Structure 1
Amino acid sequence: MKHLKVHYFQHIAGEGFGSCGTYLKSMGAQLSATEFFALPLDRSLEIEALPNIEDVDLLIIMGGTMSVNDEANFPWLKMEKRWLRRYLATGKPAIGLCLGGQMIATALGANVSRNPEQELGWTTVYKTPSVQKDCFQLPDELEVMQWHSETFEIPKGAVRLAENAVCMNQMYQIGKNVLGFQFHPEITPEVLRLFIDNEEHDQVFQGPYVQSFNTLKKSKSEQFNASNQLLNRAIDYVLQSQKRSQSLSQLKIEKEC
């Protein structure tokens, strides 16, 4: 039996895989990761150091505290984008979470820039009314964890799936194999504690849409569960695209024989 090979791009230490790691392990998936945070900042990354695209069945790009535009301070960003363009060109499944969603967008030529307001904490996002029935389906509204200063433009050919008044572009879909999130559906109590510890030290978030840490520390389990279940469905959705592609390829081979 062939095991699903899932590769993560991880940008900050200690973040782990969030809820999706547990879900994928329950499916018997083999997990591997590229830890960009462990690379020396004074050395650029060679593309050969990244995994062979043929060895990845699903790519998940995690969040991070850096900007996708800060290639001067994080030189590996340029190589990550280059590898991403090659991977996405194959039509394989990919999911981007917060910085990860921004990475996919910028790799495909969309702009990533400062959002008018910072978002931090539990907020509500809304399903975009014009989303077609054959797209990934969201509930009409959903409470999610936000932790971002920047935002992505919707890449050319993509569909906006979710929005709110503070940040218009909350989620997008490319084909049926790529989903990009601005928020953090993978959030768990452990990941939230890590985020809070980092922010309490750095103090870079402020404004009317930044929730207090005292409030966040009282988060209830059902708040995490709804987002985690959404991410599980997202994983299933993009993996179905791979199964459809493989079935079509097999059918073509059989017709040619």
Structure 2
Amino acid sequence: MKSHLKVHYFQHIAGEGFGSCYSYLKEMNAQISATEFFALPVDRPLDIEALPHVEDVDLLIIMGGTMSVNDEANYPWLKIEKRWLRRYLSLGKPAIGLCLGGQLIANALGAAVGKNTVQELGWSTIRKIKFTPHDCFQLPDQFNVMQWHSETFEIPKGAVHLAENEVCRNQMYQIGKNVLGFQFHPEMTPETLALFLDDDDELALYKGEYVQSSKELKKSEKNKFIQGNQILNKAIEYVLRKTAC
């Protein structure tokens, strides 16, 4: 692993930040930079050359967002972001995609992203796919993490399906040894959740059996976040170690 790891993250909504993995990466003495797509002028097209040179990024982390990967008309930078992703991934470099981030990687590589049969918002039990190859990223047999999504990805061609639950089959995938895509939010912290729960307009869009109330979620104990945070730290370590081999 490089002594000065250069980590870049793509942020799609204001205030979200880096979640739980910020302190973990700082322990590695990582140099952290960001592209804030939400802050780009809407009347000025994004030039792909304005994004970092792919050679200057050692690890890419793609955060979540409230938009759909298919909504390029309202968010024209999505098309440029996907182009840049294809360029970056073609070099076999490590990447982690979280919720929208996992959808973006999948979609950039040709997989469909569309409405899930139900919306998921709140704590959910996820299962590791049985008979996951031994050389893939290893998850606990069962774990509890935060969900916040209406859409979901198809598993990209050539990827390994890693996790599922009862209402959303595609919860995590792996591409090669360098890419892990999550549908859920392992990075969630109490502070991040509180920020998300302040968005009344976003909350109003979610309804159904698998949507927990904001009142209930505000009572989430700190220890509920630990397992997801640990899985994300191990995922980062995995893609960095495997691509350094």
Tell me the TM-score normalized by structure 2: 0.98
The residue aligned with 2:201 is 201
Between the aligned residues of both structures, percent identity stands at: 72
> For residue 48 of structure 1, what is the aligned residue in structure 2?
49
Deviation (angstroms), 1:23: 0.6
Deviation, structure 1 residue 222? 1.3
Residue 148 of structure 2 aligns to a residue whose secondary structure is: strand
1:190 paired to 2:202: no
Please give the residue correspondences for 1:171-182 in structure 2 after superposition, counting only pairs within 5 Å: 171-182=172-183
Q: 2:62 matched to 1:73?
A: no
Q: Which moved more, 1:40-49 or 1:30-39?
A: 40-49
Q: Quick check: 1:98–1:183 contact (8 Å CA) kept in 2?
A: yes
- Asked whether the 8 Å contact 1:106–1:112 carries over to 2, the reply is yes
Structure 1 residues 137-169: Cα deviation after superposition (integer angstroms, max 9, x where no partner): 000100010000000000000001000111000
Please report how far the alpha carbon of residue 27 of structure 1 lies from its aligned counterpart in structure 2 after TM superposition: 0.8
Q: 2:201 corresponds to which letter in structure 1?
A: H
Provide the residue aligned with 1:23 in structure 2. Answer: 24
Please give the per-residue CA displacement for 1:120-148, whole angstroms capped at 9, x wherever unaligned: 00000100012111110000100010000
**Whole-Å separation in 2 of the counterparts to 1:201 and 1:106:** 26
Show CA shifts across 1:177-209 (max 9, x none): 1000000000001110111111x2331111110
Please tell me whether the aligned partners of residues 144 and 183 of structure 1 are also in contact (alpha carbons under 8 angstroms): yes
Aligned mates of 1:41, 1:148 — CA distance in 2: 25
Name structure 1 gaps, 5 residues minimum. 245-257
1:203-242 aligned at under 5 Å gives the runs: 203-242=204-243
How far is 1:50 from its partner? Answer: 0.2
State how far apart, in whole Å, the 1-side matches of 2:127 and 2:224 are.
16
Shift, 1:43, TM fit? 2.4
Amino acid at match of 1:173: Q
Correspondence 1:157 to 2:155: no
What is the alpha-carbon distance in structure 2 between the residues aligned to residue 67 and residue 44 of structure 1?
19
Letter in 2 for 1:136: F
Q: Deviations over 1:18-63 (max 9, x none)?
A: 0011110111000000000001223221001100011000000000
List structure 1 runs of 4+ shifted beyond 3 angstroms.
none
Specify the SS of the correspondent of 2:184.
coil
Q: Residue in 2 aligned with 1:249? A: none
Indicate the SS of the match to 2:192: helix
Match of 1:92 in 2: 93
SS at match of 2:55: helix
The answer to whether the 8 Å contact 1:43/1:75 transfers is: no
Tell me the distance in 1 between the aligned counterparts of 2:96 and 2:162: 14
8 Å contact 1:118–1:210 — kept in the other structure? yes
Where does residue 254 of structure 1 map in the other structure?
Answer: none
CA RMSD of aligned residues (A): 0.9
Distance across 1 between alignment mates of 2:184 and 2:67: 15
Structure 2 residue runs of 5 or longer lacking an equivalent are none
More helix by share: 1
Matched with 1:170 is: 171
The amino acid across from 2:184 in the alignment is F
Residues 127 and 163 in structure 1, CA contact (< 8 A), matched pair in contact too: yes
Q: CA deviation at 1:242?
A: 2.0
* Distance (Å, rounded) in 1 between the aligned partners of 2:146 and 2:198: 16
| Contact 1:81–1:107 (Cα < 8 Å) also in 2 | yes
Structure exhibiting the larger radius of gyration computed from Cα positions: 1
Quick check: 2:3–2:29 contact (8 Å CA) kept in 1?
no
Match of 1:251 in 2: none
Letter matched to residue 201 of structure 1: D
One-letter amino acid of the structure 2 residue matched with residue 60 of structure 1: I
Q: Is the 8 A contact 2:95 2:239 kept in 1?
A: yes
